[in-house]
Structure 1
Amino acid sequence: MTTFASFSSSRLVSVLLGLVLLAVQIQATALTSLLAANERSCYYADVDGVGEKVGFYFAVQSGGNFEIDYVVMDPDDRVLLEGVAEKQGDYIFTANKIGEYSFCFENEAYNSDKLLDFDIMVESEPRRILSAQQQPLKEHTSALEESTYKISGLLSSVTRTQKYFHTRHHRNFSTVLSTQSRIFWFTILECVIIIAMSLLQVWILKTFFSRSGSRRYKV
Structure 2
Amino acid sequence: MAPHERACFYVQAQAPQEKLAFYFAVQSGGNFDIDYEVTNPAGGVVLDGQKERQGDFVFAARSAGEHAFCFSNTMSSFAEKMLDFDVTAEHETQADHPSRQNPLPNAAKQREQAAQSLSTIDEMASRIATGLTNFHRSLRHYHTRLHRNMDTVRSTESRVFWFAVMEVAFITGVVGAQIMAIQTLFNTSGKARV
Output the TM-score relative to the length of structure 2. 0.84
Per the alignment, residue 108 of structure 2 pairs with: none
Question: Following the alignment from structure 1 to structure 2, what is the Cα–Cα distance between the partners of residues 158 and 214?
Answer: 84
Shift of 1:126: 2.7
How many residues align? The count is 182
Unaligned runs of 5+ in 1: 1-34
> Residue type of the partner of 1:66?
F
AA aligned opposite 1:102: A
Q: Which residue of 1 aligns with 2:57?
A: 91
1:150-182 deviations in Å (ceiling 9; x for gaps) = 111111111112112111211111111111011
Q: Secondary structure at the match of 2:130?
A: helix
1:113 aligns with 2:80: yes
TM-score under structure 1 length normalisation: 0.75
Deviation of the 1:214 alpha carbon: 9.0
1:94-113 deviation per Cα after TM superposition (whole angstroms, max 9, x unaligned): 11222221111112213422
Deviation, 1:133, is: 3.9
Which residue type is aligned with residue 69 of structure 1? D
Looking at structure 2, the residues matched to 79 and 63 of structure 1 have their Cα atoms a distance apart, in angstroms, of 27
How far apart are 1:38 and its partner, in Å? 2.7
4+ runs of 1 displaced by more than 4 Å? Answer: none
Structure 2 gap segments, 5+ residues each: 105-110
Distance between the aligned counterparts of 1:63 and 1:208, measured in 2?
Answer: 54
**Which residue number corresponds to residue 37 of structure 1?**
3
Q: Secondary structure at the match of 1:132?
A: coil
Alignment of 1:50-199 (within 5 A): 50-110=16-76, 111-129=78-96, 130-133=100-103, 136=112, 137-199=114-176
Root-mean-square deviation (CA, aligned residues, Å) is 2.2
Letter in 1 for 2:142: F
